[in-house]
Amino acid sequence: MLSRVFGFGRRPFDSLDEQEILALAISSEEDDGRIYRAYADGLRDDFPASAAVFDGMADEEDRHRAALIEMHRQRFGERIPLIRREHVKGYYERRPDWLVRPLGIEKVRLQAEEMEDQAHRFYLEAAKRTEDASTRKLLGDLAAAEKGHESLARRLGLEHVPEDVKAEEGVAERRQFILTYVQPGLAGLMDGSVSTLAPIFAAAFATGDTWQTFLVGLSASVGAGISMGFTEAAHDDGKLSGRGSPVKRGLASGIMTAIGGLGHALPYLIPHFWTATAIAIAVVFVELWAIAFIQNRYMETPFFRAVLQVVLGGSLVLAAGVLIGNA
């Protein structure tokens, strides 16, 4: 770990000879081609037009690699030294596609722009360190190809992804985000915030003991979170409904359920009963307003209707808990 952070055991870029620079360029182009193809594969089912962009970019990287290999063959023969970007101190790194999933459209387009800019700077520096005229020309041409007046991602985007297609893909991406994360998370937040109100405040007013109330709230929140998470993950695998990974939906629902309950349980860690209760009630209204905002922002529920449904319903459950606790 320390060797990766501080660069121990890596070669400085300035220490590479011309053969090693060519070998590094070849392996870098190969890696970038694989990354672009992985992006294309990840986008193909839902965003075929954008997948075509990254297929084209991968083909371009293959052409660069072929030109570099031919140059190496002419100058140094058939054996290409094994040198990769992780062997060179200060060299840019690439994140594998599985670390940046889910592959959002704009996320991968911006990543492609960054990759091109880094490759452009590498070829400029590599050309400065090369004395052979033909190699220097090739590296300079590759630097120009990576940068250009418009990046390859933008040029291919204009060809394969016109504005109307890009808008359609943006709508589809937002819809998938809502189905996979927002809907389950909102359902969990509503369940955790509202369903735990009665037991927590009933326990508070029945016992007057903040610690016991906190334990009731903690158990109710965690239990509800586990239940909601498993229920969401188990009842729909997402293949027919298109709602996405059941694991992601289950985590979103379970975590938000637990957060919704813990929000007004945590104040009871304060030993003074009325201070804890006042803060808990304030937190409840913040949670209810947050739910109304999310419904309006993502589910397009009219704001005042969302407020009426959530705040009124939550207030009734809160009142029920207080009345039961005082019975």
**Is the pLDDT at 228 greater than 80, yes or no?**
yes
What's the pLDDT score for residue 66? 92
Contacts of 59 (CB under 8 A, 6+ apart): none
Contacts of 213 (CB under 8 A, 6+ apart): 200, 203, 204, 207, 265, 268, 276
Whether a cis peptide bond, with omega within 30° of 0, leads into 102 is yes
What's the pLDDT score for residue 289? 81
Place of tokens 């913040």: 286
196-210 pLDDT per residue, tens: 877 888 888 888 888
Radius of gyration of the chain (CA): 28
pTM above 0.85, yes or no: no
Residue 280: count of CB within 10 angstroms of its CB = 24
81: three-class secondary structure by DSSP: coil
**Is the pLDDT at 149 greater than 60, yes or no?**
no
Residue 44: count of CB within 10 angstroms of its CB = 14
Contacts of 239 (CB under 8 A, 6+ apart): none
52-73 pLDDT per residue, tens: 878 888 888 899 899 999 988 9
Q: What gap in Å lies between CA 288 and CA 282, rounded to an integer?
A: 10
